[in-house]
Structure 1
Amino acid sequence: MSRLDHADGAADEPGKPDRVPGEDGGAVTDEAVRGSVGDVTGDQSAMRFSQLAVELHDAHGLADTAEAATDFAIRAVGCRYAGIALACSGGSFEVGAVTDPVVRLLYQAQADSGGGPLLTALGGTVTVAVHDVMTETRWPEWQARAAELEIGSVLHVPMVAHDRTIGVLSLFHPKPDGFDADDQAVAHILARHAAVAMESARTEANLEVAVDARQLIGEAMGILMERYGLDNDRAFAVLRRYSQDTNTKLRDVARFLIDTRGLPAGH
């Protein structure tokens, strides 16, 4: 896809060994990150991530949670821009939050070309770093766009929940080698916090939709029962038949009946 909020994903090259920071501007292994985590722990780090936990807890819904995470990333890591891309089915993604329109342009560049560090990070569980945009050669179209937008270095950290990548935290610095080992460790921890919060927000949203659908269907069944003297099972069967015959979600059939006091046309 080439829409702004969706793009085709790109998987990591099979069999290629993980890379560590500083070797070739490539992937950052979990081992390298874990080796740096100790350097950013302590009272100050504990306070920072306690604050993050509060901000994520206070957020309402996916959009607010993503925005809270990217805003915190700017303060915690000291980058210029941040964004979150959420994984969708079929290897595509949607924009969860951006701190600046520049991030959306960089995402769009990958949507258009079908390649880039974000898409590579979405295809696996390993952090992808570009230490110097000007010397990057793996994604020429993305590199040209990033250079044009005066990006010096980039960090894309997969957000992993239940052993699957649900999105990517993207960080952008105006200078080459803008992210040291401590920055990468902080970003890694932040991505983990954000993944848990985003998954929780998504679950809550799904539950709210399910409850809303159940209420709509119950109200629509009540209308049918009162109007036609149907029992509970037959009223539900009528809604389900119209849903199947018109290829319409049961919830939408119920809403149509409530709003119009009639069933969808065509049958």
Structure 2
Amino acid sequence: MSEQPAKELSQRLFTALAGAARGLSTRSSGGAEQVLKLIVAGAVRTVPGAEHAGVLLLARDGTVTSHAPSSDLAERIDRLQARYGEGPCVTALWELHTILVDDLAVGAARWPAFAREALASGVASTLSFQLFTNDDTLGALNLYSGQRAGFNEHSQILGSLFASHAAQALGRAQEMEQLHQALLTRDVIGQAKGILMERFDLDATSAFAMLIRTSEDSDRKLVEVARWLVADGGPRS
């Protein structure tokens, strides 16, 4: 490819990336799952060679789950890797880097169970980028092609930049979800305290201490005790 067409292609790709990144930034308030949908849709539109895309998330307990696949095929390939615990995307999750597989037939020696079924499903090459999130959950953005060597140098460069923006947007969405959950927890504990203060003529400190003791005695989380109190009206004096 001559220098001028290469520059034009790079400019077109980076323009597409900027647009995708703006979309992620402006709509990250829609929640983590909505952001994941934007990530995979943007990746298919933006990264050369990407015919399908999906995200795998690795939770603290080691569970691998598939999220927001762009197609039924992407969902199938993601779930195969989650089921077998192997594949380029799982490797990207654990080894913290980019994994390019030009030919899954060659990769069969490394991931035999996954590669066999992925090839049978019509996937010939893959490109995976690890996503760093801010709640100790690891994620990988996974791109799939039905062609051998379906991804080129532009795919790797653009995909890496896109994954970086996507990880930031996902992190912000997760922070918002955590904040929302924290506010809900605070509210329900406050309501439970109010019930105990009224029912037993307690001050706020004593009501909170009563909640803590009930949590310890019942071996239940404080917020679970608070939710039970709010839902059932709590004990009668």
TM-score normalised by the chain length of structure 1: 0.78
Partner of 2:115: 143
**CA distance 1:220–1:165, change in 2 (3 Å):** closer
CA distance in 2, matches of 1:104, 1:247: 39
- CA shift for structure 1 position 161: 5.1
Counterparts of residues 187-198 of structure 1 (less than 5 Å): 187-198=159-170
Corresponding letter in the other structure for 2:156: Q
Q: What is aligned with 1:79?
A: 50
Shift of residue 72, structure 1, vs aligned partner: 0.4
Aligned partner (choices 37, 43, 46) of residue 67 of structure 1: 37
Alignment RMSD: 2.0
2:4 aligns with: none
**Is 2:85 aligned against 1:111?**
no
1:21-43 deviation digits (Å, cap 9, x = unpaired): xxxxxxxxxxxxxxxxx99653x
Give the C-alpha shift of residue 46 in structure 1.
Answer: 4.2
Evaluate the alpha carbon distance shift between residue 228 and residue 80 of structure 1 in structure 2; reply closer, same or farther with a 3 A threshold: same
Tell me if the contact between 1:39 and 1:182 (Cα under 8 Å) persists in the aligned partners: no
Select the structure that is richer in helix: 2
Hey, what does 1:49 align to over in structure 2? Answer: 17
On the 8 A contact 1:124/1:165 being kept in 2, the answer is no
- Partner SS state of residue 126, structure 1: coil
Could you tell me how far 1:125 is from its partner in structure 2? 1.9
Displacement of 1:219 in angstroms is 1.1
Q: Mind listing any 5+ residue stretches in structure 1 that lack a counterpart?
A: 1-37
Hey, what's the Cα distance between the residues in 1 that align with 2:157 and 2:144? 15
Q: Which amino acid aligns with 1:208?
A: H
1:165 to partner: Cα distance: 7.6
Among 209, 234, 251, the alignment partner of 2:206 is 234
CA distance in 1: counterparts of 2:73 and 2:20, whole angstroms: 24
2:100, 2:127 within 8 Å by CA — same for their partners in 1? Answer: yes
Distance 1:70-1:187 versus aligned 2 partners, 3 A rule: same
Shift of 1:222: 0.8
1:204 aligns with 2:176: yes
Equivalent pair of 2:56/2:67 in contact (CA under 8 Å): yes
1:124-143 equivalences under 5 Å are: 124-136=95-107, 137-143=109-115
Kept after mapping to 2: 8 A contact 1:159/1:165? no
- 2: CA distance, partners of 1:145 / 1:130: 15
Contact 2:21 2:162 in 1 (8 A): no
Tell me by how many angstroms 1:171 deviates: 0.2
Instruction: Please say which of residues 119-128 and 164-173 is displaced more in the overlay.
Output: 164-173
SS at match of 1:175: coil
Q: Provide the rounded CA distance (Å) in 2 between the counterparts of 1:123 and 1:39.
A: 36
What is aligned with 2:92? 121
Q: CA deviation at 1:217?
A: 0.6
Can you list the C-alpha shifts for 1:134-181, whole angstroms capped at 9, x where unaligned?
Answer: 33221111111111101111111111357x882100000011010000
Question: After superposition, where does 1:214-253 map in structure 2 within 5 Å?
Answer: 214-253=186-225
Task: Tell me by how many angstroms 1:66 deviates.
Answer: 0.6
Find the counterpart in structure 2 of residue 184 from structure 1. Answer: 156
Q: For 1:235, give the aligned amino acid.
A: A
SS in 2 for 1:79: coil
Q: Which AA in structure 2 matches 1:73?
A: A
- CA offset digits 1:180-221 (Å, max 9, x no partner): 000111111111011111111111111111111101111111
In the TM superposition, residue 76 of structure 1 has moved relative to its aligned partner by 0.4
1:53: Cα distance to partner?
Answer: 2.3
Structure-2 residue corresponding to 1:12: none
Q: Number of aligned pairs? A: 224
